[in-house]
Each structure stands twice: as C-alpha cells, then as structure tokens.
Amino acid sequence: MLNSADIQFLLAIRKSASLLATAHTLGLTPSAVTQRLQQLEKKLGIQLIDRSARQLRFTDEGELLCRRGAGIIDQFDDLLEELHALRHGMVGKIAINAPFGFGRRYVASVVAAFRQRHPDVEIRMTLSDQPLVASSDRFDLVVHIGELRDSSLISHHIAPNRRMLCASPAFIQSHGLPGHPEDLAKLPTIALHENNEDVSLWQFRQRRTTVNIRTQPALISNDGDVIREWATEGLGIILRSEWDVAESLARGTLVQLLPDWKPPDANVVALTHQSAGLPERIRTFMRMMQEQFRPHCPWRLSKVERTQRD
C-alpha cells in the first residue's frame, strides 16, 4: 500500500534531479536510495523512473504520481495545520454542561468573557439538574459540585465549597434549634434532587464521629433556587452549598444550624474525558473559571467585601 512517505520520497528524487543528490539530501547512501526506489516500483508494479537514460527521467506513471501525490501531501499538511490550530489555537467548539444555579450565577459569565476574548470559539452551554447523568460523553467539560462517584472522567479543581445546614429564623422560632443531627429525622426538611442521588440521606461528622440521618423531606425540587426560597419562607431545613446560601446567611434570612457538625464538602470541579492532550481552548476556559474564585471565593467574602464588590 502506498503511503505519504513513499510520495515524499519520490518528490525528493524529482526535486534533486538525481539519485546521488537525493541520497545526499536524505542522508542516505546511493545504494539505499536505489534499493528503496526498486522496492517502491515493485510494490506498485510500475516503473516510475527510466534509469537507462543519461539524465534521470520520470515515466508517465511516475510524473502522474508526483503531480497528484504533491496535491495529496499539501492537503495532508493543511490537515495537520488545522489539527494543530484546534489543539493549540483558539478555534473550534466547547460543549459545557453545568448545574442550573451555579451555571447561571458563575459559569455563564465566564462563557461571556471567554467569547469576547476568543470570538472564533463556538460555545454551547447546557444547564441541567443531572450534569453527570445527562450523557456526559456528549460534553467536552462538565461542571460538578460534590462527591464524584464511580466516574471515568478526570477531575480538575475549580473552587472550594462547603455544605451547610440552614433554616429561617421563623422556622427556628416555631420548631426550635436542633441539638443533634438525629433531631433532623423528626423535623420538616427540604431536599434537592440532582444526579440521581439519595436526597434523603444526610451525613454529618464531628471529630471522629460520623452520623448518617435518614430524613423525611416534606418538599423536593430539582432547582436549588426553589428550595432555598422555600427554606427562607420557613417551610423546612435545607442542606445546601455555601455558594448558594452565603448571601442569605449574610442577610439573616437563613441561619446555619449545627455548625459543629460538618457535612461532606462539595467542592466545585470541572470534569473532562482526558487529563493530557486537552485542546488549548478547553484548558484556557478552565483557567478562566478558576481565576474568578481567586484569591477568595465570592461566597467567602465578608459583608463589607461583598458590598464593595457589588
């Protein structure tokens, strides 16, 4: 089977105009060049060069192969350049999947800023309550919050994030403050349903003690804004990410419960299908996401800092 190296070899002969000069150009011995030419002609079953003449002369078949082959090599080089541009340049497409609330509040602004800087990159962002479940293989990058279970995807840290147990002052006045995680089993709770997780099983840790509590959610939604609003209205206790409830805690519309008992952290990560060989456009987008949470995450700013930022 003829390959690109064979065509390039034949083109080198035509450019050098002699087998001796070709040997010098390619750093081979004259006998090696002659042997390779014979092998190529044998492989094709065609004589490519008339070596009986005083000057090197290509046969009609050899001329055809050089002429058409040169075009093929040019197309191949163009293809490699395009692949290189996609790998290292800011062209191509990025398909992103992110959770509803976090995607609206933080990812969308990065997409807008990235697009302004790199207008040749096309971005498709999908917001979902199941970013891991919803065909993650169709996306170049998946934004995920929380523990990553049984996934072949590669995790890239974006920002730290804790989970917090919260309720409104009105709820506390009506039901009292829980003194232990076990009290939650008897109190109205509100759950967020995402990624097909067990939304009624809550875990807490204090020093070396871990407690798993099976709650009985009175309300369940797949939208974090909705359950936060329900909690603000005094309808139950929520277990939510600090990025989502930090402003409510600062305003006093929600109060943190059981601060000495720590739920598992829910760090923000970006998931990709591979760790090495990521296109530059994807690596640059992830860096821009990371930069917006440095040196401090917006949800960990003080009231004064938050006011100045706004």
Q: How do the domains of the chain map onto residue ranges?
A: 4-85, 92-161+267-309, 163-256
pLDDT of residue 89: 66
Taking the C-alpha atoms of residue 77 and residue 70, their distance in angstroms, rounded to an integer, is 11
pLDDT of residue 121: 87
Taking the C-alpha atoms of residue 284 and residue 91, their distance in angstroms, rounded to an integer, is 12
What contacts 206, CB < 8 A, 6 or more positions away? 260, 261, 262
pLDDT of residue 278: 83
Q: Tell me the sheet residues that pair with 166.
A: 238, 256
Q: CATH for 4-85?
A: 1.10.10.10
Q: Which two tokens stand for residue 209?
A: 């003690």
Distances, alpha carbon 289 to alpha carbons 111, 120, 158, 260, in Å? 9, 19, 7, 31
Q: CATH for 163-256?
A: 3.40.190.290
Q: Which two tokens stand for residue 295?
A: 């040196």
Please determine whether the domains at 92-161+267-309 and 163-256 fall in the same fold group of CATH: yes
Instruction: Specify whether domain 92-161+267-309 bears CATH 3.40.190.10.
Output: yes
What contacts 177, CB < 8 A, 6 or more positions away? 257
Q: At what angle do helices 108-117 and 280-291 cross, to 10 degrees?
A: 130
Distances, alpha carbon 59 to alpha carbons 50, 51, 53, 215, in Å? 6, 10, 11, 85
Taking the C-alpha atoms of residue 136 and residue 248, their distance in angstroms, rounded to an integer, is 32
pLDDT of residue 96: 94
pLDDT of residue 304: 39
For the beta carbon of residue 197, count every other beta carbon within 10 angstroms. Answer: 16
Going from the first residue of the chain to its last (310 residues), give the mean pLDDT of each consecutive group of 10, the final group possibly shorter: 81 84 85 88 87 78 86 74 64 89 95 92 88 67 84 88 96 95 95 82 93 93 94 96 94 96 94 83 93 88 50
pLDDT of residue 199: 85
What contacts 213, CB < 8 A, 6 or more positions away? 181, 182, 184, 185, 201, 202, 203, 204
Taking the C-alpha atoms of residue 261 and residue 210, their distance in angstroms, rounded to an integer, is 9
Q: Are strands 92-99 and 209-214 parallel, antiparallel or unpaired?
A: unpaired
